[in-house]
Amino acid sequence: MAALQVPPLGVRAVLGVPPLRRVWLLVAAAVLLAGCSVEAAPPADQQVSFRQPEPVGASVLAGPATTTTGPPPAACDVTASLRPEGLLPPEGQMPAGSTMAAIVASGRLRVGVDQNSYLFGFRDSFSGELEGFDIDIARQVAKALFGDPSRIQFVTLTSAQRIPALQQNQVDIVVRTMTITCERKNDVDFSTVYYQAGQRVLVDRGAGFTSLDSLAGRRVCAASGSTSIANLAKAPSKPVPVAVPNWTDCLVMLQQGQVDAVSTDDNILAGLAAQDRSTEVVGPRLSEEPYGIAVAKGREDLVRFINAVLERIRADGTWTAIHQSWLAELGAVPAPPPARYLP
């Protein structure tokens, strides 16, 4: 627009217009020129505020964690379950009218499991099959029912989906690193203890964290709906609990630097540590986590049947063999957790 500066003298003589009119002319010319030469200015470079992606469903836990849908529990005898009734019935020949007979008639046992807990319930990415300690325990139940450990339909569940899946009859049993608690016993029934775990902490090697106490104010990951996240929310050192759907999502967040630690049962942590040699399990056991097989309420015959199966595999060495094949990294095979029954 520099060319539009008021021209000196001369022009007035040529145009023959007085100064005031000259100004109007200039305005008119400016308007005309503006109309034809000014284009929409290109927008400035766009700044995208980068947000590092997180696992789908990750969130900082606000308020106390709950692991059940019901009212707070009355005190209970946590690990006591229903006593088996005599010996197991012959495979494939369940007592008429029982829950087991209905399952056998349906042709398959529907089992809620995990596909994200390395060594306990995970998908072998070569064969595509689910494998692990929990999976082998579930197969023992199927074998006792059908005489065939492969008569199973696996339904993979997140921690938070376990109780609803039983209540909505999507699965017959849940074998998924599930801690027996009085709270949960309001909603479902449990077998006797088939594995004894305890909560610990997984951190990056050399990060300087030694236990949950050293993680005050730090972000610590656990699966939503698990007992682990409830314990984190109650911890006196006040870490910031971050909830995710699956345990492997916790490892992703640790690897991406979005949390400082993962805290859950030591066997699950061992499975995570086995996937990333730059991490280690530290600190003392913070809690005892007895695992049981969960069954929907009102199927006591199935609970007693499962307890009989567990009795058998404790006694005949199957439990020890399963432990050996999956959990050798945890050290020497312990004795199977003893069964406790209600009076």
Partner 1 sequence: MSPARPPIRLQTITAAARTTPGRLGLFTVALLVLCLVFGLASAASLQSRSDALGDVVTSSQPLAVAAQDIYRSLSDADATAASAFLAGGVEPRQVRQRYESDIAQAGTALAAAASAARTSEQASRSVAELSTYLPVYTGLVEAARANNRRGLPVGAAYLREASGLMSATLLPAARQLYDSETARLASTEDRATPVPWLELLVGLLTIGALVAAGVFLRRRTNRVFNVGLLAATVASLLVLLWVVVTAISVSVNVGQAREHGSAQVQMLATARIAALEARGAETLTLVARGAGSEYEEQYGEIVERLGGSSGLLNRARDAIDDPEVRALVDDAMAQLGSWRDAHGEIRRLDDSGEYNEAVTLAIGDEGAGPAFTAVDERLGKAIALSTQRFDAEVAAARSALSWSVPGVVLLMVLAVAGIGWGMWQRLKEYR
What is the distance between the alpha carbons of residues 263 and 52, in angstroms, rounded to a whole number? Answer: 22
Closest CB to partner 1 among 162 and 184?
162
Which residues here bind partner 1, judged by CB under 8 A?
16, 40, 42-43, 45-48, 50, 52-56, 107-108, 115-118, 122-129, 151-158, 161, 170, 246, 248-249, 251-252, 255, 272, 275-276
Comparing CB distances to partner 1, the nearer of 39 and 72 is 39
Minimum distance, C-beta of residue 276 to partner 1, in the bound complex (Å) = 7
**Least separation, in Å, of the C-beta of 165 and partner 1?**
8
Signed CA dihedral, 102, 106, 108, 114: sign only: negative
CB of 227 to partner 1, least distance (A): 21
Cβ neighbors of 183 (< 8 A, separation 6 or more) are 66, 67, 68, 70, 72, 73
Q: Which residues pair with 279 in a beta bridge?
A: 204
Give the C-alpha separation, 120 to 3, whole Å. Answer: 80
When the beta carbons of 56 and 335 are compared against partner 1, the nearer one is 56
First to last CA, the chain: 98
Taking the complex as a whole, the smallest distance from the CB of residue 247 to partner 1 amounts, in Å, to: 9
Residue 332 beta carbon to partner 1: minimum distance, rounded to whole angstroms: 25
As a whole number of angstroms, the distance between CA 101 and CA 104 comes to: 5
Phi, psi of 190 (to 5 degrees): -120, 150
Nearer to partner 1, 245 or 290 (CB): 245
Task: Closer to partner 1 by CB, 82 or 262: give it.
Answer: 262
Compute CA distances 319 → 117, 139, 311, 312, whole Å: 19, 12, 10, 9
Considering beta carbons, is residue 167 or 275 the nearer one to partner 1? 275
**Comparison of 82 and 229: residue with beta carbon closer to partner 1:** 229
- Residue 129 beta carbon to partner 1: minimum distance, rounded to whole angstroms: 8
CB of 231 to partner 1, least distance (A): 22
Task: Tell me the helix, strand and coil percentages in the chain, rounded to 5.
Answer: 35, 20, 45
Q: Are strands 279-282 and 240-244 parallel, antiparallel or unpaired?
A: unpaired
SS3 201: strand
What Rg value do the Cα atoms of the chain yield, rounded? Answer: 33
